[in-house]
Amino acid sequence: MSDWDTRTAGPSAHILLVDDNRLGLVARKSVLEELGYHITTASEGSTALELYGAGKFDLVITDYKMPKMNGLELIRRIRERTADAQIILISGYADALGMTEENTGADAVIPKSANEVAQLVRCVNRLLRQGAQKKPPARQRARVKAKRQAR
């Protein structure tokens, strides 16, 4: 199966895509729509929260650096509503700031790079496949991991 194959990931999934950069938003939306996903976009965190509250999304993809509400705040507020929401964080600062799933609350963190599209497609496919299994959110996984390491 190629990275672009979505048959096992449920291509009819509904994804909320959040980015204040119009070009990044359009590019990611185009890639995901080509794969058969239904995409709703928002250019800021507050709009994304309104859309999230009004709709049923299988996955949220958010940029980190946005005005008014950054991606970490958006993730925190979505998790307050739906602890097991599937969330991907994309950031040009991921490596520099040491962003991980454990310290951001996201289920996947993707650094902006030349490999971003391939990583995004793999993460979307993986999370949507796992979504049917109701995987615990990243924060809960981090607590379980910490407890295991403390033993």
At 118-137, the pLDDT tens digits run 999 999 999 998 875 654 55
- In this model, does residue 55 exceed pLDDT 80? yes
How many domains is the chain built from? 1
In a domain, 1, yes or no: no
| CA–CA distance, 102 with 138 (Å, rounded to integer) | 6
Helix axes 71-81, 45-54, angle to 10 degrees: 20
pLDDT at 141: 52
Structural domain that includes position 56? 10-150
Residue 4 resides in a domain = no
Domain assignment of residue 2, yes or no: no
The answer to whether residue 3 is domain-embedded is no
Q: The domain that contains 55 carries what CATH number?
A: 3.40.50.2300
| Residue 104 included in any domain | yes
Has residue 143 got a pLDDT over 70? Answer: no
Q: Which residues in 1-151 belong to E strands, given as ranges?
A: 14-18, 38-42, 59-63, 87-91, 108-111
Does a structural domain hold residue 100?
yes
Separation of alpha carbons 1 and 5, rounded Å: 6
Does residue 103 lie within any of the structural domains? Answer: yes
Q: How buried is 141 (Cβ within 10 angstroms: 0-12 exposed, 13-18 middle, 19+ buried)?
A: middle
Of 2-16, 21-35, 79-93, 122-136, which range is least confident? 2-16
25 in a structural domain: yes
